[in-house]
Amino acid sequence: MGYRYHDTVQVNTLIETITAHIGPEKIAAKVRQSLKGLRAVCYYGCLLTRPPQITQAAHHENPTNMDELMSAIGVDVVDWSYKTSCCGAAHSLTRPDIVLKLSGQLIEHAREAGAEVMVVACPLCHANLDARQFQMKRAQPLPVLYFTQLMALALGLPDKAALNKNLIDPRPVLNEKGLMPVYH
Question: Environment class of residue 126 by beta-carbon count within 10 Å: exposed (0-12), middle (13-18) or buried (19+)?
Answer: buried
Query: Considering only 5-9, 19-23, 110-114, which range has the smallest mean pLDDT?
Result: 5-9
Backbone angles phi and psi of 101, in degrees to 5: -65, -55
DSSP, res 51: S
Choose between 43 and 8: higher pLDDT: 43
Averaged pLDDT of the chain: 92
Fold of the domain spanning 37-176 = Rossmann fold (3.40.50)
Q: Which amino acid is it at 73?
A: I
- 163 versus 3: the higher-pLDDT residue is 163
> Is pLDDT above 50 for 103?
yes
Is 181 a residue whose pLDDT tops 80?
no
Angle at 89 between CA 83 and CA 93, to 5 degrees: 150
Domain spans, the chain: 37-176
Task: Please compute the mean of the pLDDT values over residues 88-100 and round it to a whole number.
Answer: 92
Res. 184 pLDDT band, cuts 50 70 90: very low
* Rounded average pLDDT over 126-138: 92
Euclidean distance between CA atoms 73 and 57, whole angstroms: 23
Give, in order, the Cα–Cα distances in Å from 176 to each of 132, 163, 172. 24, 15, 6
Proportion of the chain above pLDDT 70, given as a percent? 98
Of the pLDDT bands very low, low, confident and very high (cuts 50, 70, 90), residue 46 is confident
pLDDT at 98: 96
Lowest mean pLDDT among 10-19, 63-72, 100-109: 10-19
